[in-house]
Amino acid sequence: MAADEEPDSPTEALQTAAEEEETKTFKDLGVTDVLCEACDQLGWAKPTKIQIEAIPLALQGRDIIGLAETGSGKTGAFALPILNALLETPQRLFALVLTPTRELAFQISEQFEALGSSIGVQCAVIVGGIDSMSQSLALAKKPHIVIATPGRLIDHLENTKGFNLRALKYLVMDEADRILNMDFETEVQKLQRAALKNPVKCAVSSKYQTVEKLQQYYLFIPSKFKDTYLVYILNELAGNSFMIFCSTCNNTQRTALLLRNLGFTAIPLHGQMSQSKRLGSLNKFKAKARSILLATDVASRGLDIPHVDVVVNFDIPTHSKDYIHRVGRTARAGRSGKAITFVTQYDVELFQRIEHLIGKKLPVFPTQDEEVMMLTERVSEAQRFARMELREHGEKKKRKREDPGDDDDTEGAIGVRNKVAGGKMKKRKGR
């Protein structure tokens, strides 16, 4: 910039930087034409902040630590440079992406395949819950990109003949803080030490924060009335799509049964479900065939489900950072959304930590307590049926562990819809 063109004030300098960011295209960042076309087809009109920061550095071959808020286009920030480099020097087993959850691994694979569809990119997803033999065969074909959860990857490195990562050119640790919290800290740190040389930090969000268009509330309620308040909120905000976070697999399943008994289209997603059932739940919710997804933190990180209107923290997260990730499932890509956190008499300290982390005091979600209490009888009856069904389901799983037809933990295989209507028990149909 010539001296006479220099901005007169810091404000002008910021405006100039903002204008440059506005006009940046993927081509400006150095992305090759064929990948720019793929971005167009995916509807990526212009690069996001993290992509503007990270892509040029990655294309120079620099090591990067990227920090950005959830829903900010981090996958594109590492996928585009990897595919760009792969086009220049085609090679099998070119890149490894490590990720903490299976669902995120499949989502990342979909993005790689969508971006690389015209250049014939081959990906292998290596995660638990799926037959190891078919994965070994996929690895034997030497795909370009391997997307894996740490446990199953270590398993294949130890047991799959001929599979190694010696030729690897790129390593990505997506949601690295979560991977390091898992039981694989030592292995991952070894990888990190071996891989990172003079890394550049790309931070487009310097502190933990939630997006501006997210309306955040809390509800202070006695622990014993949590179910009743949840039903009240689902009725009050009817017509929206909900993600409800529970702390355990058992509570996720129980609450899903409870809500179905009351006529809500609820579906669970948790770690004790088989992988095909987990993906089935996710796909039904994504396709809007179900309006309520009940999940453990397996679904809090990175999953891009565009139409979530409301996030409910039914059980408050133990780690404050998980709050950021949970509520980040709504108000994505410039849309607005609501988040409501249930705070019982046992959760006050955890809630205060969350407020401290995000740097704001949350308002109370308005409720009519008399209306809530009117639901108590129906909810307690639905709770009773949910407990019976959980018990029945547990016994059935013990008896018929080998029969996958009976082990349908995503839908009403045990007759959940034939129970409660208007507080009256319906007669059970013969099985």
pLDDT tens per residue across span 233-264: 999 999 999 999 999 999 999 999 999 999 99
Question: How many helical (H) and strand (E) elements, i.e. helices and strands, does the chain have?
Answer: 16, 14
Q: Is 30 left (phi over 0), alpha (psi -120 to 50) or beta?
A: left
Mean pLDDT of the chain: 81
Tokens matching residue 157: 């490195």
Residue 216, H or E segment: strand 214-220
Q: Which fold has domain 23-203?
A: Rossmann fold (3.40.50)
Confidence category of residue 210, pLDDT binned at 50, 70, 90: low
What's the predicted TM-score (pTM) here?
Answer: 0.63
C-alpha span between 293 and 314 (Å, rounded): 12
Greater model confidence, 340 or 402: 340
Going by DSSP bridges, is the β-strand pair 424-425/420-421 parallel, antiparallel, or unpaired? antiparallel
∠ at Cα 137 (111, 274), nearest 5°? 65
Residues of CATH 3.40.50.300 domain(s) within the chain? Answer: 23-203, 214-425
**What are the pLDDT digits (tens) for 32-55?**
999 999 999 888 888 988 999 999
C-alpha span between 313 and 297 (Å, rounded): 11
Tokens matching residue 213: 């268009």
CA 131 to chain centre: 23
Return the SS3 of 86: helix
C-alpha span between 230 and 226 (Å, rounded): 6
Tokens matching residue 334: 């410039």
Q: Which fold has domain 214-425?
A: Rossmann fold (3.40.50)
Q: Residue 218 in contact with residue 340, Cβ under 8 Å?
A: yes
The region of weakest confidence among 11-15, 70-74, 146-150, 367-371 is: 11-15
**What are the pLDDT digits (tens) for 152-181?**
999 999 999 899 999 999 999 888 777 766
Greater model confidence, 260 or 419: 260
